[in-house]
Structure 1
Amino acid sequence: MTAVDTDIERRWELIRSKGPYGLLAFAALLSAATAAELTPGTTRRTAAAVLVAAGFGLQLWWGRASRTRPGPSTAGTWYYTARWALGFALTWLNPFFSFYVAAGYFDADELMSGRRLRWIGPFACAIAVSSAQAGGLPFAAWTQWVLFAGLLVVNSVILTVVGHLTTQQEERSRARAETIAELERTNAALQQALDENAALHAQLLVQAREAGVADERRRLAAEIHDTIAQGLTGIIAQLQVVANAPDLATARTHLDRAAGLARHSLGEARRSVHNLTPVALEHDGLPEALKGTVAEWAERSGVRAEFTTTGTAEQLHDEVSATLLRIAQEALSNASRHARATRVGVTLTFLGDEVILDIRDDGQGFDPLALPERTRTGGFGLPGMRARAERIAGSLTVESEPGNGTALSARVPLVPHE
């Protein structure tokens, strides 16, 4: 219930509890002022005074009794009936006492139990009020009866209309109170849901942060494997050749290559610390970087390698270029370490909204399903290349069988350079 409804209800309660006192006192004053004309005779005046005193006594008694009997009850019905009887008798003695009877218009619903009594009570009050309006009882002429009947009809219609409007207003107030209560329950449920969502959001943020940290760790590990580890492997290979070099010129050549690999690895390490972008892509696009990588690998490994670009080349997003270059570097490293190939072909294809990188070799091949469990699910070989492709919504497929070489294909979305 709103503050306005509470204030209105408080005022109505004041009218119901104090109204009969005021109306009885007002009627008694008017009756005393008109006693000579409307209440002739000592007996009638004495009777009126006694009934007025009885009326005040009845009000005082009900003021105390109503505290223990709130709402419609049998006691309230008897009080209402007794008050009407007193009021009707007083109205018979002096028509101005009909003001006291009119108090029954306001509290029938609060006192009388039973739906019919709540209509009969006000109608009985209308009888007393109409008789006073017609000139007071007893009627001296038939015209007063006709006037009384007309006034009773008018008062009854007014009571019916007012009662109907009052009932509608009460129903609207009740419906509004129920709506407010439902809104309060809904708001409470909504607040609870918001609190739960906030807790879930905080939990998701923690999980996302942990997942991001783990993903970044895997990414850094893959970068180290694809750059520094491969460079160190190349340096070791060149130094092994130096150890068995037949002459100083051959040894110097391989030492120069080892030094070049060391400088390249150092540049990759510094680049990884800053932004993880491959050195080869610092000044060139992906086709040029792949071409240089394939040529350097061929010179270092002694394996014939060819690079081809098909389609209309575009400047790709840095992440896409870095991913494909890292996949190519890992595939070439695997070819030199495991495939024992004599020929390798690398093709970069720009096809609509996709970029495809194919690496093929004529090496000894392998059975993908026969790989050790750790190699298929961990490490930084095929799983690392596949994870790189999937990180940018791409895919990696590998076709190989023993004795028939290996074909690797990475397909990623074509995302232009920003």
Structure 2
Amino acid sequence: MSTSDAAKIIEQRWGLFNRWGPYVLLGFGLLMALATSGVVGMSRGEWYASWALVGAGLALQLWWSAAAGSRPGPSAAGTVYYAVRWALAFALTWFNPFFAFYAVVGYFGAERLLPPRLVKPGLFATAVIMAGSQSGGLPPHDELGWTVFGALLAVNVALLIVFAHLAAQEDERNRIAVSTIVELEHANTALQQAMDENAALHSQLLVQAREAGVADERRRLAAEIHDTIAQGLTGIIAQLQVVANASDETLAREHLGRAADLARHSLGEARRSVHNLSPTALEHDELPEALKKTVTEWAERTGVRAEATVTGPAEPLHEEIEATLLRIVQEALSNASRHAAATRVGVTLSYMDGEVTLDVRDDGSGFDPLTLVKRSGSGGFGLDGMRARAERIAGSFTVESEPGGGTALSARVPLVRHG
């Protein structure tokens, strides 16, 4: 509801009084005059004049009711109407003080009918009629009567000032209340718009989160497949190549057995990857033992000298951290056997205050990290995959290498204990 709408409602309520109030008050004043005419001592001539004035008041009110619609604010016609009505009320009150009920309407129509400079004189003129009625009628008959009239006029003027001040305060409160309501409605509208926008953003975020979850799951499965099936197939191929070139049946069977073991192990790891389970090596052993077994098995399978070392007080780590470190070791060993042509590999797991460090060093051919370009079809799960794994658990991954100088990989992750 706007300020103008509230003003219209208030105007409609006062419009009912301004339209019908003069009729009611004139009729009530006439009834009181009829009831008290004997006490007041009205003569027949005064009654004839009073009836004529009452008729003139009715005619005046009927004319104004028809003309007021085209003159909603102060105007010359309104001033004339107010002045004539005051004169009729003054004359009627002269004949009988109880006709002052009709004069009361002068208090309520001044600001609506008169221009601002005439409002106070109009209210004062109405106060004169009221004081005359309260003092026993106009004109006062003696000095005491004039004194009482003057005192009552002063009281009426004082009451006018007080009520005008209270009315001004009430109008100001109403204005502030209406303004507050308008501001609240604007705020509610803005809040509703914000809620609609938030709902749309929420829906959009849900869609994006769903898409991000799907993409993250795809990356996880791709990395797991690379770390399990791809590495297992690489080992199987290496064992089968030995079998193909072996003339000793016993040696061939040994390598066929290793290939079969690798196939079974890779199949189990693939199943565990699909269900997002920890590596098989961590199923029954803590990370230090699992890491040592992984390095030992890799050394036996590849024939490369490898050693695993654990420093610091070992502690049970969160499953995700143990799985990440073990996968990094597996990928680093796979790279060392496939690309580095290393003859010696060292793996060090260090438990320190607040973090765990994994270092993998080899004496292979090395490379230039700045000019390393991912080969087509590699899938990008080598060094980038190890770095992504470390960063996913708030860790870091660094590479130090140079052509002919071997390679050193280091992963640093937070020490988050199991449970």
- TM-score relative to the length of structure 1: 0.95
Retained in 1: the 8 A contact 2:140–2:149? Answer: no
Tell me the amino acid that sits aligned with residue 95 of structure 2: L
Name the residue aligned to 1:252.
Answer: 253
Name the residue aligned to 2:127.
Answer: 126
Name the residue aligned to 1:390.
Answer: 391
Q: Map 1:66-81; keep pairs closer than 5 Å.
A: 66-81=68-83
Tell me the amino acid that sits aligned with residue 347 of structure 2: V
Name the residue aligned to 1:229.
Answer: 230
For 1:129 and 1:408, the matched residues in 2 are separated by 106
Q: Map 1:257-272; keep pairs closer than 5 Å.
A: 257-272=258-273
Instruction: Give the deviation of 1:70 after TM superposition.
Output: 2.5
Name the residue aligned to 1:21.
Answer: 23
For 1:228 and 1:77, the matched residues in 2 are separated by 103
For 2:377 and 2:401, the matched residues in 1 are separated by 14
**Which region of structure 1 is more displaced relative to structure 2, 1-10 or 224-233?**
1-10
Retained in 2: the 8 A contact 1:242–1:254? Answer: yes
After superposition, give the CA deviation of every residue in 1:319-365 in whole Å (9 maximum; x if it has no partner).
Answer: 11111111110000000011111111101111111111100011111
Instruction: Give the deviation of 1:11 after TM superposition.
Output: 5.0
Instruction: Give the deviation of 1:270 after TM superposition.
Output: 1.6
Tell me the amino acid that sits aligned with residue 157 of structure 1: A
- For structure 1, the residue ranges without an aligned partner over 5 or more in a row are none
Distance of aligned partners of 1:18 and 1:350 in 2 relative to their CA distance in 1, 3 Å threshold: same
Give secondary structure in 2 for the equivalent of 1:363. coil
Q: Map 1:330-409; keep pairs closer than 5 Å.
A: 330-373=331-374, 379-409=380-410
Name the residue aligned to 1:177.
Answer: 178
After superposition, give the CA deviation of every residue in 1:256-292 in whole Å (9 maximum; x if it has no partner).
Answer: 1111111111111121122242111111111111111
For 1:73 and 1:379, the matched residues in 2 are separated by 89
Retained in 1: the 8 A contact 2:374–2:380? Answer: no
For 1:172 and 1:31, the matched residues in 2 are separated by 40
- TM-score relative to the length of structure 2: 0.94
Give secondary structure in 2 for the equivalent of 1:131. helix
Give secondary structure in 2 for the equivalent of 1:237. helix
Instruction: Give the deviation of 1:25 after TM superposition.
Output: 0.7
Name the residue aligned to 2:306.
Answer: 305
Name the residue aligned to 1:62.
Answer: 64
For 1:358 and 1:337, the matched residues in 2 are separated by 19
Instruction: Give the deviation of 1:210 after TM superposition.
Output: 0.6
For 1:376 and 1:233, the matched residues in 2 are separated by 15
Distance of aligned partners of 1:375 and 1:292 in 2 relative to their CA distance in 1, 3 Å threshold: farther
Distance of aligned partners of 1:140 and 1:377 in 2 relative to their CA distance in 1, 3 Å threshold: farther
Name the residue aligned to 1:48.
Answer: 50
After superposition, give the CA deviation of every residue in 1:44-66 in whole Å (9 maximum; x if it has no partner).
Answer: 22221111101011111122222
Retained in 2: the 8 A contact 1:30–1:96? Answer: yes
Tell me the amino acid that sits aligned with residue 18 of structure 1: W
Retained in 1: the 8 A contact 2:312–2:352? Answer: yes
Identity across aligned pairs (percent)?
66
Retained in 2: the 8 A contact 1:38–1:94? Answer: yes
For 1:73 and 1:219, the matched residues in 2 are separated by 85
Instruction: Give the deviation of 1:134 after TM superposition.
Output: 1.6
Retained in 1: the 8 A contact 2:29–2:99? Answer: yes
Distance of aligned partners of 1:184 and 1:288 in 2 relative to their CA distance in 1, 3 Å threshold: same
Name the residue aligned to 1:102.
Answer: 104
Retained in 1: the 8 A contact 2:317–2:417? Answer: yes
Name the residue aligned to 1:112.
Answer: 114
Distance of aligned partners of 1:400 and 1:388 in 2 relative to their CA distance in 1, 3 Å threshold: same
Give secondary structure in 1 for the equivalent of 2:411. strand
- For structure 2, the residue ranges without an aligned partner over 5 or more in a row are none
For 1:69 and 1:7, the matched residues in 2 are separated by 18
**Which region of structure 1 is more displaced relative to structure 2, 8-17 or 325-334?**
8-17
For 2:378 and 2:189, the matched residues in 1 are separated by 49
**Which region of structure 1 is more displaced relative to structure 2, 3-12 or 350-359?**
3-12
Count of equivalent residues? 417
Retained in 2: the 8 A contact 1:294–1:307? Answer: yes
Distance of aligned partners of 1:231 and 1:52 in 2 relative to their CA distance in 1, 3 Å threshold: same
For 1:80 and 1:104, the matched residues in 2 are separated by 7
Distance of aligned partners of 1:374 and 1:242 in 2 relative to their CA distance in 1, 3 Å threshold: closer
Instruction: Give the deviation of 1:21 after TM superposition.
Output: 0.9
Retained in 2: the 8 A contact 1:39–1:93? Answer: no
For 1:147 and 1:377, the matched residues in 2 are separated by 114
After superposition, give the CA deviation of every residue in 1:133-172 in whole Å (9 maximum; x if it has no partner).
Answer: 1221222211111111100010111111111111111110
Tell me the amino acid that sits aligned with residue 18 of structure 2: R
> What is the aligned-residue RMSD (CA, Å)?
2.2
